[in-house]
Structure 1
Amino acid sequence: MSTAQNKDLLLKYNKEVIEKGDMAFFQQIAATDFINHSAPEGMSNKIDGVIYFFSAIIHTALTDVTVKVLDMVAEDNKVATRKEITGIHTGPLFGKPATGKKVTIKVIDIFTVFDGKLKEHWGENNFASVIQSLH
């Protein structure tokens, strides 16, 4: 795939998986041997871990989830994005009861794409500080 096609795949991932919570779409675009190198300790670093994170954590605790891609860079089979994920805290999140506050999670992701599928992920985010700010 071209870098333009890889970027398009990542835009779809951000819209369909993160924003809309479509985990069936994630299963379609992830390689069967997908690995998340940034999975939190105790969470699967495979496809099921990503599904759990977005369906059981993000989309359970937040409503009106949106993703704003601020920057995207692609080279060879790698695509990096800098983005903001926002939502309203309307459900429990790691022991923090709903506050009704708008939260913004800042993320930098790098994915590798092979044969049109997401193969590997590395990421950095401010999720821990977002959780700490909920009181």
Structure 2
Amino acid sequence: MAMTVEEATRIVTPLYEALNRPAEKDVGALLAKAAHPDYKSYGTNQDFMTRDQLAQVFSGIGKAIPDLRWTIEEVHPIGDDKIVVRGNATGTPVGEIFGAKPTGKSFETISIDLFTVRDGKLAQAYHVENWVDALEQMAKK
């Protein structure tokens, strides 16, 4: 049976909640609520992070971007085990991010995530964010 938008949104929301001001939250607990212990988050077709590694990355980004806000713009369930999410991220870094020093300027960028669901939790994700554009926005004078 096909997953509804409401079911898909309920499944992915804790992961995105972990990305909203992550320095102020128990990111590990939110990711545990959303994802299986063997969750894999792919940034390329081969390279992935585990759920615990992802929690560390989210926390590190939260320290560099304390006002990080990641919103869910669209949720599209596909069949009974896939979810596509279009997200939007905004923030103003106060620490180094991807090798760039903070400039006091904010960014806004898009994200696309393709999740596989198993037993009502996230099992894996393939994700793309446009960090190049975000860094360019922060560097503009």
Q: Provide the TM-score with structure 2 as the length reference.
A: 0.79
Q: How does 1:46-85 map to 2 (within 5 A)?
A: 46-56=50-60, 58-75=61-78, 76-85=80-89
Q: CA separation in 1, counterparts of 2:137 and 2:121? A: 35
Deviates more, 1:20-29 or 1:112-121: 20-29
- 2:33 corresponds to which of 28, 34, 40: 28
What is the aligned residue count? 132
Q: How does 1:1-135 map to 2 (within 5 A)?
A: 2-3=3-4, 4-14=6-16, 16-21=17-22, 22-23=26-27, 24-38=29-43, 45-56=49-60, 58-75=61-78, 76-135=80-139
3-state DSSP of counterpart to 1:97: coil
**Cα RMSD, aligned residues only:** 2.4
Q: Which runs of 5+ in 2 are unaligned?
A: none
3-state DSSP of counterpart to 2:75: strand
Q: Assess if the C-alpha contact under 8 Å between 2:107 and 2:135 holds in 1.
A: no
Deviates more, 1:1-10 or 1:102-111: 1-10
Q: Provide the TM-score with structure 1 as the length reference.
A: 0.82
Q: Percent identity?
A: 26
